[in-house]
């Protein structure tokens, strides 16, 4: 199922993968926060950046290991949009 060379599949995979990983990281952060009463464990900005970088690992897998250029380009486009959105919305805040 994941061995498809399609631009639209790459866009879908690039959009869904970081969202699922961000949800898992957020839940993990909440569990750690419950056990440690000291406050926030990891800031949301850091969690967001880590989840976006997961796209780069998935993209490399599709470019290098599987040689699926169209899928890799779709993932690259979504990763670029996510990164630009992050720097536009969160860089202005300063934290």
**Average pLDDT of the segment spanning 46-57:** 89
Task: Kindly give, in sequence order, each residue whose CB lies less than 8 Å from that of residue 55, ignoring residues fewer than 6 positions away.
Answer: 14, 17, 18, 75, 78, 79, 82
Q: Tell me what pLDDT residue 13 has.
A: 92
The rounded Cα 72 to chain-centroid distance in angstroms is 14
| CA gap 24, 90 in Å, rounded | 21
Domain limits of the chain?
A: 7-90
Using a pLDDT cut of 90, give the percent of the chain over it.
37
pLDDT digits over 1-44, tens only? 677 788 999 999 999 999 999 999 989 888 888 777 666 677 88
For the entire predicted model, the pTM comes to 0.81
Q: Tell me what pLDDT residue 4 has.
A: 78
């Amino acid at each position: 199922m994941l061995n498809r060379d399609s631009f639209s599949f790459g866009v879908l995979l690039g959009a869904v993968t970081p969202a699922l990983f961000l949800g898992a990281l957020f839940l993990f952060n909440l569990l750690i926060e419950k056990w440690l009463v000291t406050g926030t464990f990891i800031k949301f900005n850091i969690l967001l950046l880590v989840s976006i970088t997961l796209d780069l690992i998935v993209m490399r897998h599709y470019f290098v290991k599987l040689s699926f250029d169209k899928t890799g380009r779709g993932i690259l486009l979504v990763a670029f949009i996510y990164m630009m959105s992050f720097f536009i919305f969160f860089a202005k805040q300063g934290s």
